[in-house]
Amino acid sequence: MPQVCLYFHLHQPHRLSPITVFDVGNHPDYFDPVSSGDQEIFEKVALKSYRPMLGLLKKLLNKHPDFCVSLSISGVFLEQAQAFAPDVVALLQDLVKTERVEILAETYYHSLASLYSPSEFEAQVLKHIATIEELFEYTPRVFRNTELIYSNDIAALLSTFNFSGVLTEAVDRYLHGRPKTQLFASTTPDKIPLLLKHAQLSDDIAFRFSNKSWDWYPLYADRYLRWVEVYDQHEYVNLFMDFETFGEHQWADTGIFTFFEQFIADFLARDWNTLITPSQAFEPYAERRGGIKRTKSILEKRNELPIYDVPDPISWADVDRDITAWRDNDFQYDTLRIMYQIEDDIKATEDAQLLDQWRKLQISDHFYYMCTKWSADGDVHAYFSHYESPFEAYRRFSIALADLLGRLSALRKTTNGAQDRDRSIEWYSKIIGLQPVSTTPAR
Amino acid sequence: MIGWEYPPHNSGGLGVACDGLTQSLAKSGTQIQFTLPYNFKSKVDHMTVLDCVDPSWLDEHGVLLENPPFLAYDQAIPQSAPNLKTDMGMDILRTLPQSELERKVYQYADRVTTEGTNQSPKYDVIHAHDWMAYPAGMKLKQKTGKPLITHVHSTEYDRSALHKGSDFITKTEYEGMVMADVVVAVSHYTKRLLVERYRIPASKIAVVHNGITPLVYPPDPGTHHFASERPVIVYMGRLTIQKGVQYFIHLAKTVLERNPEALFVVAGSGDMYHELLFTTAREQLSASVLFSGFVRGAQQEKLLDRADVFVMPSISEPFGLVALEAAQRHTPVVVSKNAGVSEVLPGSIAVDFWDIEKMGAVISHLINDRDHHKQTTHKQLSDLDSATWDNAARRMRAVYRSAVLGK
């Protein structure tokens, strides 16, 4: 009886090519589509997941007038789709034309900018929105951050955007026993409405579906429907997961496509069930399109929502639903530190190519690969990584970073003219986090 | 000659030294039968290579289960303890072979003895390289009565960074040297260590410094190879405690205070690799200290050609051939005082490995003062004139003579 909100995430990172120390300073292509494996992987996943699942969604949209779904599509996904499988972009455009497929806003580079840099975060969100508008003639109204990362501070960053709502994870330690199936509001003055992921029911599909040692294996649509229908009609059951769940994480031979098709048919066959998109849930709390000034009545309505107070960042990843998948060990802390320390200098060069390379290095996956947590999450990390180990991920990223700093330094010299040595030294010291000392040669 | 590794299957200096020495010895008329614990597939014409392979090392198709070289210098992981008896005291237990490697050394001794006995009319002296070959050398000496020379390229004290290493290996080294007619040390540094730590009489130890094979093609020094805008400081060697590579990371921090644009490259592999990566990140050096992994051949040459400074901060280094290779490629060498190579490379700059401040200052001086850099390079190049394998072979033939005549 609940209102079910389906949301699937499409993303492929730009992986690092096998660059070596000898490439530093020799203009290596960090993201060569062939040697990085990007093209091969994208084509494989397109075959196994993107095409069949988008085809299935199209079929369901045709068949069921009540069917709707929301998608988030990273900018770097769209770049690769355009390069390696343009038909996937065309399929997405077809879906959006039905007006029953909602596209969400996010950071173009699937980055962790929200944790480090308000200015970079804003730039990436705007770039993403512009890309979606251009490709789909559609303006996203709802936001989802990279891996559903969210905190009070991030809500404050979002306040400037006027989104109608935000998606994130339901984390028990911040729910304080309250049901996650209701709308919440942020702690910020504008009280941004929030929809929280139903982890149990989402992960039943995303992670457990093909697990033969799971008590409920094999999962059939009727059983799953019973679990969903436990909830009341005023409740939201938010099934958020990777798009690649369908056909890639769970292969076709697990029956995932049949299961999904059957579940939708069974669910919609009953009058009291409804599917919604996030915008529909947020509708009563949103001002109209066209930028009419936020009225008092909207804020009053939002004030009625329970507050989701998240002091430390949460996400949908790993057992702890925190950000330790990307920022936990020294590899991650130090590379991220340097990455965001050079932001102003990168932007000051006004070199579009350098800016793009720096931003591609911000893709959260690079830091995910460096994760050294080896518990239940280790298997998941290993599944998603093309590196033999987190050490190799760090080793290769450092090489790219060293090269990037060299390029940046050279461009700064060109821009600033013959730069004196002391200024160059001061700059390097700042970047690597050291205090410069006297440059007099020692004996 | 009883060997353990030979190029291209070498883990480090031992194989290279055996190559250089045998080439020059052969040139001066020495006939060499060289044993190896694996099937040697490459072609050499300056000596006869005898494969001494125990059948238990092969699979059913006659292929070695493990690829050479058999990492005699890595921390051996105890895998089995054969012949264990409950009534053995601790003093016996501690000297039992603890690993597959140590057992392999004894099986190798048996194979070498069989092969060496068959070939005995063809040689006058048994020459065993490092502890893996000593049991074979001792056994063969007992069997044939020919004089034994144990050649010390490296000791267990070096490998365990002057701490106590494997009792079994130390004991094997000691027995080999005691039973030898002459002990050859690769440096005076090593000779001193053999006298002080192993109580071997100084009169029994001859020093034969390693040489270096002259380059066939001229080096290509310069900054054009990579990172041309930044000073590049290179470490090259196994990533083990002996080599003091951990000091290299701390050294980087010191140098970066003066030369924040400097780039440090750690080349090699070893059991400290993961720890070094963590240290690098913890010290916030992720964009300043890079790891190239193990390099050989053209890549190794390029790295030494490119280096503005080569650093060898070893805690204990019997020789350190790679320092000569760096010198050949016009790269100033900063070397630990506990390294034998400085005896043949007086133009290099020797510093105590633990004196990070001093070593950092020396490196910065080389980077920032081009004249000093140039002078150091030139001094080193003239040192190399006498650091030849022909000189090493001449001394070695004198050792052979004394061993045969002393009998």
- Both tokens of residue A298? 């909207």
Tens-place pLDDT, residues A218-248: 999 999 999 999 999 999 999 999 999 999 9
Give the integer Cα–Cα distance in Å for A363 and A110: 5
Does residue B296 sit at the A interface (CB-CB below 8 Å)? no
Under an 8 A CB cutoff, do A441 and B368 touch?
A: yes
Q: Residue A413: pLDDT band by 50, 70, 90 thresholds?
A: confident
Q: Which of A118-127, A260-269, A312-321, B177-186 has the lowest mean pLDDT?
A: A312-321
Average pLDDT over residues A189-216: 95
Does residue B80 sit at the A interface (CB-CB below 8 Å)? no
Under an 8 A CB cutoff, do B365 and A442 touch?
A: yes
Q: What are phi and psi of A6, to 5 degrees?
A: -95, 130
Q: What is the DSSP string of A13-30?
A: --PPP---GGGTTS---T
pLDDT on residue B72: 57
CA angle, B344 as apex, B338 and B347 as ends, to 5°?
90
pLDDT on residue B104: 87
Under an 8 A CB cutoff, do A25 and B229 touch?
A: yes
B397 class by beta-carbon count within 10 Å (0-12 exposed, 13-18 middle, 19+ buried): middle
Residue A304 appears among annotated catalytic residues: no
Residue B46 scores a pLDDT above 80:
yes
Interface test with B, best of A22, A338, A419 (most B CBs within 10 A): A22
Under an 8 A CB cutoff, do B299 and A437 touch?
A: no
In chain A, what residues touch B261 (CB-CB under 8 Å)? 409, 424-425, 428
Q: Residue B315: pLDDT band by 50, 70, 90 thresholds?
A: very high
B218 CB neighbour count, 10 Å cutoff = 8
In chain B, what residues touch A331 (CB-CB under 8 Å)? 277-278, 281, 286
Does residue B287 sit at the A interface (CB-CB below 8 Å)? yes
Residue B188 region by backbone torsions, left for phi larger than 0, else alpha for psi between -120 and 50, else beta: alpha
Q: Residue A437: pLDDT band by 50, 70, 90 thresholds?
A: very low
Q: Which of A23, A406, A432 sits opposite B256 (nearest CB)?
A: A432
Helices vs strands, H then E, count in chain B? 14, 12
pLDDT on residue A1: 78
Under an 8 A CB cutoff, do A25 and B253 touch?
A: no
Under an 8 A CB cutoff, do A438 and B258 touch?
A: yes
- Both tokens of residue A332? 């991650």
- Both tokens of residue B81? 């303890």
B328, B213 contact by CB (below 8 A): no
Which residues contact residue A239 at a Cβ distance below 8 angstroms, ignoring those fewer than 6 apart?
Answer: A4, A5, A6, A7, A197, A198, A201, A202, A205
Tens-place pLDDT, residues A12-22: 999 999 999 99
pLDDT on residue B141: 97
Q: Residue A376: pLDDT band by 50, 70, 90 thresholds?
A: low
In chain A, what residues touch B286 (CB-CB under 8 Å)? 331, 334-335, 338, 394, 397-398, 401
Residue of B nearest to A429 (CA): B260
* Closest to A115 in 3D by CA, of A397, A330, A319, A340: A340
Average pLDDT over residues B6-18: 84
Residue A140 scores a pLDDT above 80:
yes
Under an 8 A CB cutoff, do B364 and A442 touch?
A: yes
Does residue B96 sit at the A interface (CB-CB below 8 Å)? no
ipTM score: 0.90
Residue B60 scores a pLDDT above 80:
yes
B59 class by beta-carbon count within 10 Å (0-12 exposed, 13-18 middle, 19+ buried): exposed
pLDDT on residue B9: 81
Residue A434 scores a pLDDT above 80:
no
Give the integer Cα–Cα distance in Å for B185 and B317: 12
Residue B33 scores a pLDDT above 80:
yes
pLDDT on residue A293: 56
Give the integer Cα–Cα distance in Å for B345 and B380: 6
Residue A305 scores a pLDDT above 90:
yes
- Both tokens of residue B320? 């350190």
Interface test with A, best of B264, B288, B294, B362 (most A CBs within 10 A): B288
Tens-place pLDDT, residues B153-164: 999 999 888 888
Q: Which of A296 and B387 is assigned the larger pLDDT?
A: B387
Q: Which of B277, B285, B303 sits opposite A391 (nearest CB)?
A: B277
C-alpha R_g of chain A: 23
- Both tokens of residue A392? 């190799």
In chain A, what residues touch B281 (CB-CB under 8 Å)? 329-331, 333-335, 394
Residues of chain A above pLDDT 90, percent: 82
In chain A, what residues touch B302 (CB-CB under 8 Å)? 22
Exactly one of A102, A106, A147, A169 is catalytic; which is it?
A147
Interface test with B, best of A16, A19, A21, A372 (most B CBs within 10 A): A21
Average pLDDT over residues B377-396: 97
Q: Long-range contacts made by residues A118-121, C-beta under 8 angstroms, separation at least 24?
A: A118/A157, A119/A343, A120/A340, A120/A343, A120/A362, A121/A157
Under an 8 A CB cutoff, do A399 and B290 touch?
A: yes
Under an 8 A CB cutoff, do B286 and A394 touch?
A: yes
Q: Residue A415: pLDDT band by 50, 70, 90 thresholds?
A: low
B173, B102 contact by CB (below 8 A): no
H or E element at residue A121: helix A118-136
Average pLDDT over residues A416-424: 65
Residue of B nearest to A337 (CA): B284
Average pLDDT over residues A290-319: 84
Does residue B375 sit at the A interface (CB-CB below 8 Å)? no
pLDDT on residue A438: 44
pLDDT on residue B243: 93
Q: Classify residue B241 by its DSSP letter.
A: G
pLDDT on residue A392: 94
Residue B132 scores a pLDDT above 90:
yes
Q: Residue A440: pLDDT band by 50, 70, 90 thresholds?
A: very low
Q: Classify residue A48 by its DSSP letter.
A: I
pLDDT on residue A420: 63
Packing angle, helices B370-384 and B356-368, rounded to 10: 100
Tens-place pLDDT, residues A51-82: 999 999 999 999 999 999 999 999 999 999 99
Distance of CA B287 to the CA centre of its chain: 31
Q: Which of A387 and B189 is assigned the larger pLDDT?
A: B189
Q: Which amino acid is at B46?
A: H
In chain B, what residues touch A22 (CB-CB under 8 Å)? 225-226, 292, 299, 302-303
In chain A, what residues touch B256 (CB-CB under 8 Å)? 429, 432, 434
Residue B190 scores a pLDDT above 70:
yes
Rounded to the nearest angstrom, the minimum Cα separation between A357 and chain B is 16
pLDDT on residue A421: 65
Give the integer Cα–Cα distance in Å for B312 and B322: 9
3-state secondary structure of B67: coil
Q: Residue A205: pLDDT band by 50, 70, 90 thresholds?
A: very high
Under an 8 A CB cutoff, do B287 and A402 touch?
A: yes
For chain B, what is the mean pLDDT?
A: 91
Q: Which of A332 and A376 is assigned the larger pLDDT?
A: A332
- Both tokens of residue B10? 């070498």
- Calculate the alpha carbon distances from A282 to A50, A155, A182, A220, A237 in Å: 28, 16, 11, 31, 14
Under an 8 A CB cutoff, do A21 and B265 touch?
A: yes
Under an 8 A CB cutoff, do A439 and B229 touch?
A: no
Which residues contact residue A438 at a Cβ distance below 8 angstroms, ignoring those fewer than 6 apart?
Answer: B258
pLDDT on residue A442: 40
Residue A357 scores a pLDDT above 60:
yes
